[in-house]
């Protein structure tokens, strides 16, 4: 199902836009062993360049999704790790990293006070065509081998946000300074970035990628270019690579449209359960009878009210069981148990950039 047309026109901003990204923390990791240290811990390979990735738990769950910036430094390699510091079941990233320093020549400091994070998008960069590699499990990854330049960008503190085509750039700016784009771009609030992210199907931070619960591939980290399935050992590699080769991906985070039957101006709360409803079989429609009983629930993650466009609607991201996404099955998120709660109809769409899986007879071309 594609995104409903009118919604797309109304919600997708295609003019140059700048918005602050709130609630992000920055750690500085420097020292002669910094590259090797981070490469042993991050699920993406670290080779002195900027990128996007995640720290995983030894049992393969995500702890923190992060952006890795390089910094213009004097002598030793210096990286800046931008992440969501919201307290969760996982330890703060600083404590987590410090446990692995041991005798490595690495210095880790919290430098959140020095930096602000901005997103810039809507610049005319042309349509980006991407190559994809599929695994039989359903994991998919972008292939950058034809790109002349490093995909995530080489300007210190400016990351080309390749998590999805059209995401734009991510800017790490000294706190108090304004990005130079501020004079020419439309300057919007932090909600504009959330909407931008949802419309592109890009999960981020602890609301979408729940620490110690989320799996990296189910959270689209493969498709967003945050996982390297061929590098050597890193914490959590064992389960991730086994899933890639021999597992089956049963869930994905996808954008959804939420509509309430009653009038409301507020969006739904996060972490709502989404349950499938199968219509009762009828004689006129016997195929419905063949639908097996659907087990389990899906989960609503970030969402934002779009009542300015359409009353009683919202858009969001949801961790959806792929088995539930079939014709005839309707999804609902019910929060009527709480005060002012609504019952929301949930309709997903696959992001426009999401690659089409080659059919099985042709053999998924495995990029090993």
Applying CB under 8 A, the residues found at the interface with other proteins are 37, 40-41, 58, 99-104, 233-238
Closest to other proteins by CB, 121 vs 234, is 234
Supply the minimum distance, in Å, between the C-beta of residue 89 and other proteins: 12
Supply the minimum distance, in Å, between the C-beta of residue 341 and other proteins: 37
Closest to other proteins by CB, 121 vs 244, is 244
Closest to other proteins by CB, 118 vs 234, is 234
Closest to other proteins by CB, 96 vs 367, is 96
Supply the minimum distance, in Å, between the C-beta of residue 108 and other proteins: 11
Closest to other proteins by CB, 32 vs 261, is 32
Q: Are strands 313-321 and 298-305 parallel, antiparallel or unpaired?
A: antiparallel
Rg (CA), the chain: 21
Closest to other proteins by CB, 102 vs 339, is 102
Supply the minimum distance, in Å, between the C-beta of residue 42 and other proteins: 12
Supply the minimum distance, in Å, between the C-beta of residue 247 and other proteins: 15
Supply the minimum distance, in Å, between the C-beta of residue 70 and other proteins: 22
Q: Distances in Å between the alpha carbon of 70 and those of 28, 29, 39, 81, 173?
A: 10, 10, 14, 9, 13
């Amino acid at each position: 199902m594609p995104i409903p047309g009118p919604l797309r026109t109304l919600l997708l901003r295609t003019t140059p836009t700048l918005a602050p990204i709130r609630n992000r923390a920055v750690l500085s990791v420097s020292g002669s062993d910094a590259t090797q240290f981070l490469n042993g811990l991050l699920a993406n390979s670290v080779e002195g360049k900027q990128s996007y990735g995640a720290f995983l738990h030894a049992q393969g769950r995500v702890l923190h999704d992060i952006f890795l910036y390089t910094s213009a430094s004097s002598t030793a390699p210096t990286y800046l790790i931008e992440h969501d510091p919201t307290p969760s079941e996982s330890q703060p990233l600083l404590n987590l990293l410090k446990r692995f320093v041991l005798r490595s020549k690495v210095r880790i400091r919290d430098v959140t006070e020095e930096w602000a994070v901005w997103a810039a998008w809507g610049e005319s960069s042309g349509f980006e065509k991407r190559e994809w590699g599929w695994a039989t499990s359903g994991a998919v990854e972008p292939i950058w081998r034809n790109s002349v330049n490093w995909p995530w960008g080489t300007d210190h503190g400016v990351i080309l946000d390749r998590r999805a085509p059209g995401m734009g750039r991510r800017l790490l700016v000294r706190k108090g300074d304004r990005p130079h784009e501020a004079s020419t771009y439309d300057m919007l609030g932090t909600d504009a970035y959330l909407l931008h992210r949802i419309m592109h199907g890009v999960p981020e931070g602890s609301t979408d990628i729940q620490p110690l619960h989320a799996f990296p591939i189910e959270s689209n980290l493969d498709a967003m270019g945050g996982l390297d399935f061929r590098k050597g050992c890193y914490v959590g590699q064992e389960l991730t690579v086994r899933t890639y080769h021999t597992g089956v991906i049963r869930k994905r985070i996808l954008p959804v449209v939420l509509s309430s039957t009653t009038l409301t101006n507020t969006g739904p709360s996060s972490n709502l359960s989404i349950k499938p409803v199968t219509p009762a079989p009828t004689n006129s429609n016997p195929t419905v009878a063949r639908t097996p009983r659907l087990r389990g629930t899906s989960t609503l993650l970030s969402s934002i009210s779009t009542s300015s466009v359409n009353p009683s609607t919202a858009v969001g991201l949801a961790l959806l069981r792929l088995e539930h996404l079939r014709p005839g099955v309707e999804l609902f998120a019910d929060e009527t148990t709480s005060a002012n709660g609504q019952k929301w109809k949930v309709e997903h769409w696959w992001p426009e950039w999401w690659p089409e899986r080659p059919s099985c007879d042709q053999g998924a071309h495995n990029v090993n």
